[in-house]
A = this chain, B = another copy of it.
Amino acid sequence: MKVEVCFSPALYPHYNIDNENTIVVVVDIFRATTTMCAAFYNGVQSIIPVADIAEAQRYKSQGFLVGAERNVKRCDFADFGNSPFEYTRERVEKKQVVLTTTNGTQAIETAMNCYQLLIGAFSNITSIANHCQKERKNVLILCSGWNNRFNMEDTLFAGALCKMLCERNFSPASDAANVALDMWQNAQPNVRSYLGRSEHLERLVINNLSDSVDYCLTMDTTPLLPAYDKGQKAIFLL
């Protein structure tokens, strides 16, 4: 089995995705996919990812709970922003939540033609690796990036997951996968300090949102497998 890394949703069309044989793992570490995992951990029933604000507003007017963020800030009309700490058990348990974010939800829309579309974060990384090993499919890790540009934190996650998969009989499919592996290696032993230079960390710090950074970088706090269901157009636990 092969593990491939795609650095941006804008590059995804240039990869050969076999929709019988490729599991796509979408990642947006800061913070969409980390937040989704947290919401499922707190009992959310499903998450409806939508790419644009207008659609999120329509859901809101129909009475849905809505999370909406652009450029790290919560949109005024929304119930939640994009912090994993907002999606508490009290607020989300057994509920449906609609979510739109700057990058992560677009990446999900981009990646729909595949065998399975999983939501990946450091917080569920080992569960993802074990599942991929069991499924014996090729894996493509789709980094959400920032406005379609490369970012460091999603690629670091890709490197970490590549490493786990290489320990489970996968091999790197490409230069991109090898470079992600190198980055993960470079980032040891202190990933937080390696990310000191990252653009998005800077954005979070400027907006007083860095309280969730350590959480976003901690492994296996939410050992669950959220996956997108094409039929129902929503994310459920597998």
Of B149, B152, B197, the contact of A15 (CB 8 Å cutoff): B149
Query: CA separation between A143 and B199, bound complex, in Å?
Result: 21
Chain multiplicity (copies): 2
> Is A219 close to B, CB under 8 A?
no
Query: CA separation between A7 and B179, bound complex, in Å?
Result: 12
> Is A134 close to B, CB under 8 A?
no
> Is A155 close to B, CB under 8 A?
yes
Query: CA separation between A40 and B162, bound complex, in Å?
Result: 42
> Is A61 close to B, CB under 8 A?
no
Q: Does the CB pair B148–A175 fall under 8 Å?
A: no
Report A76 CB to chain B, min CB distance, Å.
Answer: 27
Query: CA separation between A61 and B199, bound complex, in Å?
Result: 51
Query: CA separation between A151 and B15, bound complex, in Å?
Result: 13
> Is A98 close to B, CB under 8 A?
no
Question: Which residues on the B side are within 8 Å of A147 (C-beta)?
Answer: 14
Report A174 CB to chain B, min CB distance, Å.
Answer: 6
Q: Does the CB pair B175–A198 fall under 8 Å?
A: yes
Report A192 CB to chain B, min CB distance, Å.
Answer: 15
Question: Which residues on the B side are within 8 Å of A198 (C-beta)?
Answer: 175, 178
Question: Which residues on the B side are within 8 Å of A150 (C-beta)?
Answer: 7, 11, 174-176, 179
1/0 per position for A86-126, CB-CB distance to B under 8 A? 00000000000000000000000000000000000000000
Q: Does the CB pair B186–A182 fall under 8 Å?
A: yes
> Is A10 close to B, CB under 8 A?
yes
- A window 170-213: CB within 8 A of B: 174-176, 178-179, 182-183, 186, 197-200
Of B174, B178, B197, the contact of A149 (CB 8 Å cutoff): B174
Enumerate chain A interface residues (CB-CB to B < 8 A).
7-8, 10-11, 13-15, 147-152, 155, 174-176, 178-179, 182-183, 186, 197-200
Q: 15 A-B pairs, CB-CB below 8 angstroms? A: A7-B7, A8-B11, A8-B14, A10-B10, A10-B11, A15-B149, A149-B174, A150-B174, A150-B179, A152-B175, A152-B178, A174-B199, A175-B200, A179-B179, A182-B186
Counting from the closest, the 7 A-B pairs by CB-CB distance are A152-B175, A14-B148, A150-B176, A151-B175, A178-B197, A175-B199, A14-B149
